Amino acid sequence: MISEDLAEIRLQINGIDDQIIALLQLRINLVKALKPFKTTLTDQAREDEILSKIESKSIKDIYLAIFEASKRELSCYKESH
């Protein structure tokens, strides 16, 4: 029974991971689409607005990493286009 519960939980986590991966890829594509509109790499007010909606420290840390990855992606994209 425990192993079935474990397998079910892992299956659910795998499904969530698949959704997160797809959404992060979509987010990166949208970040690239911002290129013509960006005058600076960081919009601190926007980042603060997003972070203010999050209670969990762990999720805030994840979002900070997403912001940094997005900036790197946009920076590389700007240099190559």
What architecture is domain 2-80? Answer: Up-down Bundle (1.20)
Phi-psi region of 56 (alpha: psi -120 to 50; beta: other; left: phi over 0): beta
Query: Could you tell me the residue ranges of all domains in the chain?
Result: 2-80
Q: What is the pLDDT of residues 63-79, one digit of tens each?
A: 999 999 999 988 775 55
Q: Which two tokens stand for residue 8?
A: 């079910």
Which positions ≥6 away from 22 have C-beta within 8 Å? none
Q: Which residues, other chains included, contact 75 with Cβ-Cβ below 8 Å and sequence gap of 6+?
A: 41
Q: How far apart are CA 23 and CA 29, in angstroms?
A: 10
pLDDT tens per residue, range 11-66? 999 999 999 999 999 999 999 998 888 888 889 999 999 999 999 999 999 999 99
Q: What predicted TM-score, i.e. pTM, was given to this entire model?
A: 0.81
